[in-house]
Every structure is written in structure tokens, then in C-alpha cells.
Amino acid sequence: TPQPNPNPQVGAAVKAADRAHVFHSWSAQELIDPLAVAGAEGSYFWDYDGNRYLDFTSGLVFTNIGYQHPKVVAAIQEQAATMTTFAPAFAVEARSEAARLIAERTPGDLDKIFFTNGGAEAVENATRMARLHTGRPKVLSAYRSYHGATSAAINLTGDPRRWPSDNGTAGVVHFWAPFLYRSPFYAENEQQECERALQHLEDTIAFEGPQTIAAIILESVPGTAGIMTPPPGYLSGVREICDRHGIVFILDEVMAGFGRTGKWFAADHFDGGIVPDLLTFAKGVNSGYVPLGGVAISSAIAETFARRPYPGGLTYSGHPLACAAAVATINVMEDEGIVENAARVGTEIIAPALAELAERHPSVGEVRGLGMFWALELVKDKETREPLVPYNATGEANAPMAAFGAAAKKQGLWPFINMNRTHVVPPCNITDTEAKEGLAALDAALSVADEHVS
Ligand code: PLP
């Protein structure tokens, strides 16, 4: 077990320098209080005051093999010692090997890998490829989605963080994807939700003009927006619609990919396995140890750029350190059965425990997910499903969720919180004991959320 080694003085200095000079993402700079982190190992991290936390967030849902896995750390050290960096136009062992290992695991004929430094750049390039491949301008994406924060990716994103920076010029049209608990289609069951969502997508395409639509982008299982597993038939229905209209189907697996759902890719779960034309990945590909993302490309789209240059690239595309980390991560996931562990712990421990919490706690409106990818919808009232805090609440209005978060931390659990939801997204190699420890802490924290139920 990793042991915290308290050193409050160092912690205070780290914090002071952070507050003086680090400009944090998504934050009002003077209203935040970031924890100074001293170290991390496996499923835990700790601060300088001797507090240790079980990380039910996997960072930002990326440490799929936990922190500081010795084999991956060693692979990064070895790569640094032999070839720390090299420009993208060369064939480099770590890059070739990472591409091979990724292509072997992505669905169908997605056999060519374009490397980026993260998820948003993968989305940028996937949509660019789709536009060039089809010669069409528009991309359709779902409300209640997250695709990244660069210019095109934030315009595709269907959540309130888009609003301040959406310039409306990116050729993006939003549509509603299925979400039975808060059904945009007033459906009463999954089958109805699926049928109505597909009809709505057909209608959107008809009114936009199919000949104007390059791509439809969807998260296989939308993550940040609430882990909404699609109903049976939905993704295969979208695949069929795309085929019929010559539209490129992009599945964004930045969060759901690389073991998170208990299979290598979330697309593998649904309707006998979905094969998109482009698949974006990042995060879990190397557990976030070194920034890496990419696009897996079908043979048909690769063919478009066989004799015509692809107009896009990044200085650090396929950076050797990041690729060496990916090779080591994928090998560790195979050797240690980490994808299988995510499926087993998800099915045997987390699913039944969360179902039981939902029954016992008045604040838990719904539990949904799979593998190591779960969301609890916290509500004021189970009947009306009114969220425990209003959409996009800050300050006093967000107090019930803040109280829930503080209670979890007091129990030694670091929770993932988004609006009125908490997500259970621990490392995919979490042990049974750790999972049970986290669930017990969650139980206690939910009792605090219960106090805010009306
Ligand atoms: N796509 C999805 C589905 C994501 O969850 C994220 C990040 O959370 C992104 C894209 C953006 O990735 P990045 O933050 O690495 O740019």
C-alpha cells in the first residue's frame, strides 16, 4: 500500500506557486482551490498533509491502468534513454508498434492510425478527413455530448461549456440522441426511445439535405454528459442511415475506449459490434502517462489519401515517448487481463452495489453504465426526476453537490462530479477490495446528498 509522506510546507509552496501562476481550465481563477498532490500509485493519490484518496475519477477518466504502473514507467524511461523524440515523417519503432497494436484492436478495417496529442485534435482531424472524403460541409453531433475544447471540437460539443465560445460558423448541426431517463422524445421504453431517436435523426438529415452532410459524430457511450448507454439497435441504426446517405460515421471513443467499458472499445458491445468509418481515441490508449490521441481510419477513407496528400499534421504526432507508453500500456492490459477485470468488477461488484444504493438512497434517481463506466443521477425527487442541483449551477445553487463531494473526500474517496451527477469511473485494474472500499465511502456521501432531497 502506498504511504503518504506528509510535508505541509512543501504543499503550501506548491499551492502558492500554482495560485500565483497557473491559469486553470474551465475555471474562474479566483474561485478555485486546487488540491496540491504529492504522489500517486495504483488507484490512490495523496496530498502533502497526509490525506490519501481512492481515485474514482481515473484523473479525467484516463488512468485506465492506475497511476505509476512500473512497467509503463520503465518503458517511458527506456524510450527517453534511447530516442526521446523524433519528427513525425520518419518510421520509428515505438510509433510503428503502437499503431500496429492499436489497429489490431480497433473494430473492422480501421487499420491506419493518425496520431494526435489528445482527444480534441483527434476529433478535429476526423471531421476534416470526413469533409475531404465526402466533399460535403456539415457535421451532425448530439446534444448531451463532449468532443473537446479546441475550436471545431467545442462547436461539436453538446453541453453548456460550448455556449460561451461557439461562434456558430463550424457547419455543425446538433440532434438528440437517445436518453430514456430524460427522454427528448417522451418515450416510455428503450425500444420506443430508439425508434424515435432514429426517426428524429432521419428527419434532421432530410431537412438539412443529406448531400450537405459529411459526417455524424457520436460517442459510443456518451461519457461526460452522463454515461448514457445507447438502447439496442440505435448504433446499428445510425450505421445504416450513414450508409444509405453516404455519410461518414465517426465514433468518438476518447473516453469510452481502451477497456473502460469492459471491452477494448465500447462499440464492440452493441448490436453485435459496430464498425464506424473513423474512430477517435486518446486517454486510456496509454493511461494518460504521456499525451496521446489519434484517429483510426477505415480502408475506404485511407484510400482517399493514398495519392492525395492529407492536409493536416502536428509537430508531435506519434511522439516516441507517448507511443512507447501506449505499447507498454496495451501489453500490460493484455498481460494482466485488465479489460476482463473491468468487465468482471463492473458486473459482479459495482453494478449490484450501485443498484442497491439507488434503492436505499432517496437522492439517487437512476444508475446506469457498464464496466468501469457508471453514472448516478442525483435528484431532489425520484418521481419528478428534478435534478439535485439546477443545470450548470454554481455557488449557493450548487451547494448540495458540493456537500456530497466534501463528504466523499472526508471518507477518503475522490468523486467525479458533473452537474447533478457523480460518475463511478475508477481505474480498470481496480481490485475487488478497493472497489468495495470506494462504494462504502460513496454510500456514506450519498447520505449527505439525501439531506437535500425535498
Ligand atoms: N471526446 C471525448 C468523448 C472526450 O471525453 C474528451 C475529453 O474528455 C474529448 C473528446 C477531448 O479530449 P482532450 O481533452 O484530450 O482534448
Spell out the domains of the chain, with CATH numbers in brackets. 8-65+337-450 (3.90.1150.10), 70-335 (3.40.640.10)
Of the candidates 103, 130, 105, which has an alpha carbon nearest to the alpha carbon of residue 115? Answer: 103
Of the candidates 263, 259, 261, which has an alpha carbon nearest to the alpha carbon of residue 285? Answer: 259
pLDDT score of 2: 55
Report the b/e string of 386-409 with b at 16+ CB within 10 A: ebbbeeebeeeebebbbebbebbb
pLDDT score of 79: 98
Q: What is the dihedral of CA 379, 381, 384, 388, to 10 degrees?
A: -30
Is the CB of 154 inside a 6 Å radius of any atom of ligand 1? Answer: no
Ramachandran region, residue 108 (left: φ > 0; alpha: ψ -120 to 50; beta: rest): left
CB 140 within 8 A of CB 174: yes
CA 195 to chain centre: 26
Is the CB of 255 inside a 6 Å radius of any atom of ligand 1? Answer: yes
- Which amino acid makes up residue 364? V
Quote the CA–CA distance of 82 and 385 in Å, as a whole number.
Answer: 56
Contacts of residue 315, defined as CB under 8 A and 6 or more positions apart, other chains included, come to 87, 88
- Cα distances (angstroms) measured from residue 363 to each of 73, 113, 202, 396, 421: 41, 44, 37, 18, 11
Ligand 1 atom nearest residue 283's Cα: 15
Cα torsion 422, 423, 429, 435: sign: positive
pLDDT score of 247: 98
Ramachandran region, residue 288 (left: φ > 0; alpha: ψ -120 to 50; beta: rest): left
State which H helix or E strand residue 213 sits in. Answer: strand 213-219
Contacts of residue 261, defined as CB under 8 A and 6 or more positions apart, other chains included, come to 221, 269, 342, 370, 371, 372, 373
Q: Which residue's CA is minimally distant from atom 10 of ligand 1?
A: 147
The residue whose CB lies within 8 Å of the most ligand 1 atoms, and thus the one to mutate among 218, 255, 260, 295, is 255
Predicted-assembly ipTM surpassing the 0.90 threshold: yes
Ligand 1 atom nearest residue 293's Cα: 15
CA of 447 to the centre of ligand 1 (A): 32
pLDDT score of 164: 83
CB 283 within 8 A of CB 258: yes
Is the CB of 291 inside a 6 Å radius of any atom of ligand 1? Answer: no
* pLDDT, averaged in runs of 10, over the chain (454 residues): 80 97 96 96 96 97 98 98 98 98 98 98 98 98 97 90 79 97 97 98 98 98 98 98 98 98 98 98 98 98 98 97 98 98 98 98 98 98 97 92 98 97 98 98 98 95
Helix (H, G, I), strand (E, B) or coil at 78: helix
Pull the grid cell for residue 23. 491559469
Strands 421-424 and 416-418, sheet pairing: antiparallel
State which H helix or E strand residue 421 sits in. Answer: strand 421-424
